[in-house]
Each structure stands twice: as C-alpha cells, then as structure tokens.
Structure 1
Amino acid sequence: MEDTETNGFRLVNSKFPPIALFDDVADAEDFEALYQLQAMTNPRLRSEVGDLNLIPREEIPFGIAGCAYATAPFTHVNPDGGRFNDGQYGVLYMADSFATAIAEVAYHQTRYWQGVHGLQYDRFVFRGLVCRFGTEGVKDACSLPMTDPIYDRTSYAASRECGRSLRKLGVTGIQFLSVRRAEAGAICWGLFTPKQVYRIHQSCHYEFVWTGEAIGSISKVSRP
C-alpha cells in the first residue's frame, strides 16, 4: 500500500512566537468561545491570531500538536507571496530535510536583506519545525523538468497561476522540486490547507549571520 504520510521540515523566524490559542482548544466551538473571552482582555489578540476570515474553521486541525504552526501561514499571509501563492492566500511550505529548508530560506533572506541599505551586520534565529502530514490529494509536479516555467528561478508568474488553478480544483497541495537545492534532487511541498497536518513539533534552532552583503554563516544553535 502506498504511504500517504510523510515528514516535512520548515524554518520560521523565532521572532514570531507560537499562537497559543490554537493549541489550547480541541475543536472549533471551544476556539470561538475562548477567542471571544480572551479578546475582551487582550488587545493584541487579533494581530497575534491573524485574519481568521482567510481560512474556514473546518480546515483548522484543532487538537493536534502544533496546531498554531500549521495554521499560522493561512492567517498571517505573506503579502509578497511565494512560488505557488501571490499573497492573496496562504500556503504551508515544507522541505524534505532541514538542509533543503535552509537552502530555500537562505535564498529568500539574501534577496530581502540585499534590498535593505545600511545593514552591515545582523543575526537571525530560525526555529526548526518537523511536520507529519498526509499527502492525499497532493499534486506531484516532480516529474516536470527543471526547465518547466513553474521552476523559473526568478519569476513566479507561471507557478502562481498553477497554484491558483490547483487550489480552485480542490487540490490539497503540490509536491515540487526544490529550485534552491536542485543539484541534490531535493523536493518541497506547498499545502493549500492545514487540515492535512497530523502534528508539528519544534526541533532545533538555526542562526543566520548577515555580513552586509550575504548570509555569511548558518549554524545550528540548539537542540530540543
């Protein structure tokens, strides 16, 4: 029988803490009650939880370990988007190893900080996450060659159109080749819904050092 579960690895900036509210309840009804109660005393709650209108309650995997990690990309949507999303909706991106996740994050961090003038040195700590998720309904694009437009190294036009189309068809996600670690044959996933996630737990931390021109070093700085 084909294995319909696998592990994915993800890095998130440690400046963004987990949203405890998602992990404190077992179902949508409990969430609504606790959310309304806490909203009366916590003025920062709405910014912490994000835009709940961006995700149907039935897609939130309440009761799993790390529910907040699974849900955050869908309520705190990156306005710049990613390879398969244009900033209008969230995608949970993961890689087949921490090495692949590091390569992907290092590329995007480099592009971002090269546009920030005057920053001569800084360090950024990322939290390593291990995710167990189901692959049912996930479209496999790994058979496509790296010359396919969805793998363009700088333009996301074709891949974003692909993501929009798959999402409208009800596809739960996409498995694709890692552009930033192509030489290793590495793969990544982009889930269009967090309901595929069974659990996420924190593993280690990684420190990225910015030299003013590039990421100078990357090192593991802690263990569980």
Structure 2
Amino acid sequence: MTALPPTRLVRRQDTHRLIPSQYSVLARIAGDDAQLRDLFDLDNATNERLQAEAGLLPGIGIEELVFGIPFARIVNAAFVHAHPLGSRFNGPERGAWYAGFELETSMAEVAHHKAVQYAEIGRFDDVVTYDDYLADIAGEFHDLRAAPVFADCLDPDSYVASQALAERVLEAEGLGIVYPSVRRAGGTCLAVFRPALVSHVRRDTTWRFAWTGSPVPEIGRA
C-alpha cells in the first residue's frame, strides 16, 4: 500500500494529553537541593531532549523543536523520548504528540498501556498520578476516521502497519494523523508529527489512577 489517507482540516481546542506528574525519578532519590542539582546534571549528560535541542539526534532536527513558549520542554520531550519499540504512529527514533479530543479517551489510552505493563509482571497494584495537558491543534491531518482501507493501522495488537503509514506520512511532509481511538469506542485521537502545531499548552487537572488487583483502574482527582 503506497497511497496516503485523505487530509482534512482539523481545528480542535483543549485536546488532552496525560503525562505522569512526577517531574523525575531523580527528585525522589536526592536528599537535598544540592544533590538534586548534581543528579540532574548527570542525567542531562545523556538526556535525549537536550541532545535534540543541540542538534545531536537523528530522528528530529533542532529546527523543528519549540523554544521560548510555556511548556516547551514538555512538547519537545514527546518527540525526542520515543518508546524503544515506537508507538502506534511513530518508530523508536522520533516520537509524536498524542492527544485525545476527549479527556475520557486519553484516560482510556493511558489506562490500557499501563495495564499492559502490569500484566507483564502479573501484578495490578499501583497508584500513578497524571497531569492533563491541554493544547490547541490546527492543521491538515491525514484522516483515518472514514478510511476503511487503512483499518489494519488500527489493529489493537500490532503497530506494524500503522508505523509504516506514519513513515510514509513523514516522508510526504505530513503534519500528523487523526484517527478513532482503539481503546475507547467513539473517541478520537491525534498523532501530531510537528512540534510547532502543539499550541497554547497549559496544565489542567491532576488525576489519580489506582490499580487494586484489576487491569481497570479507579480514576479520580488527585
């Protein structure tokens, strides 16, 4: 398959991206501010976001990152801290800004992927808090919502087809993909491929996800 999905203008305010609220694991092991600064200096020596901002990573160039705006580091981190196996619409070398049109959709996506991690160790016993980052998105996105020929890109158990499509979209200088949520019926997700499109970022509510023996967490305000 070489064709790309049709594009559609997407204008959406208040999209939702849930990010673990702990600033860094280093903050939990440092004994005081001086130790914390030393640990962050050590961490920064190999920090992918800083390497990308210095133009040292192959997946994304410094000219694509954002600077001098609120939460610029949060935005840049989404593109330079890709999962080692990639995600639905990105490979391991370059990330994307994933967001849900609806808060419930982002919650369902996060809960699913966290539950997969717990299933691997056979233990659903944890509490994690997530900050809801709102962002406004506008641009011409490749739209999978009415493109059944690309149904394999929404496979709940495989990212092979979707990552291949994402690579083609990037090569064609596409801005990203809008698609129906795989984890919540009726929900809509965005995979934004260009940091500059993630605008008016602000932090909203913090949510508490509690797993108490079940793959489905109890969710409430933190």
Deviation of 1:73 after TM superposition, in Å, equals: 1.2
Q: Check 1:114–1:193 CA distance in 2 against 1; reply closer, same or farther (3 A cut).
A: same
| Aligned-partner Cα distance in 2 for 1:172–1:46 | 31
Q: Is the 8 A contact 2:108 2:183 kept in 1?
A: yes
AA aligned to 2:91 is D
Q: 3-state DSSP class of the match of 1:167?
A: helix
**Structure 2, unaligned runs of 5 or more:** 1-7, 25-36
The CA deviation string for residues 52-104 of structure 1, in whole angstroms up to 9 with x for no partner, is: 12321221122222211211111211113211123221111010011110011
| Aligned-partner Cα distance in 2 for 1:128–1:134 | 19
AA aligned to 1:216 is P
Q: Is the 8 A contact 2:81 2:94 kept in 1?
A: no
Q: Percent identity?
A: 26
| Aligned-partner Cα distance in 2 for 1:198–1:77 | 20
Structure 2 match to 1:138: 141
Q: Is the 8 A contact 1:71 1:194 kept in 2?
A: yes
RMSD in angstroms over aligned alpha carbons?
A: 2.5
Q: 5 Å matches for 1:83-98? A: 83-98=88-103
**Structure 1, unaligned runs of 5 or more:** 18-37
Structure 2 match to 1:14: 21
| Aligned-partner Cα distance in 2 for 1:120–1:110 | 7
Q: Check 1:76–1:171 CA distance in 2 against 1; reply closer, same or farther (3 A cut).
A: same
Q: Is the 8 A contact 2:70 2:201 kept in 1?
A: yes
Q: How many residues align?
A: 195
Structure 2 match to 1:128: 132
AA aligned to 2:42 is P
Q: Check 1:173–1:46 CA distance in 2 against 1; reply closer, same or farther (3 A cut).
A: farther
AA aligned to 1:124 is V
| Aligned-partner Cα distance in 2 for 1:153–1:67 | 31
Q: Check 1:6–1:63 CA distance in 2 against 1; reply closer, same or farther (3 A cut).
A: farther
Q: Is the 8 A contact 1:66 1:199 kept in 2?
A: no
Question: Structure 1 residue 170 and structure 2 residue 173: aligned?
Answer: yes
Structure 1 match to 2:45: 46
Q: Check 1:83–1:120 CA distance in 2 against 1; reply closer, same or farther (3 A cut).
A: closer
Q: Check 1:16–1:47 CA distance in 2 against 1; reply closer, same or farther (3 A cut).
A: farther
Structure 1 match to 2:208: 207
Deviation of 1:151 after TM superposition, in Å, equals: 1.2
| TM-score between the two structures when normalised by the length of structure 2 | 0.79
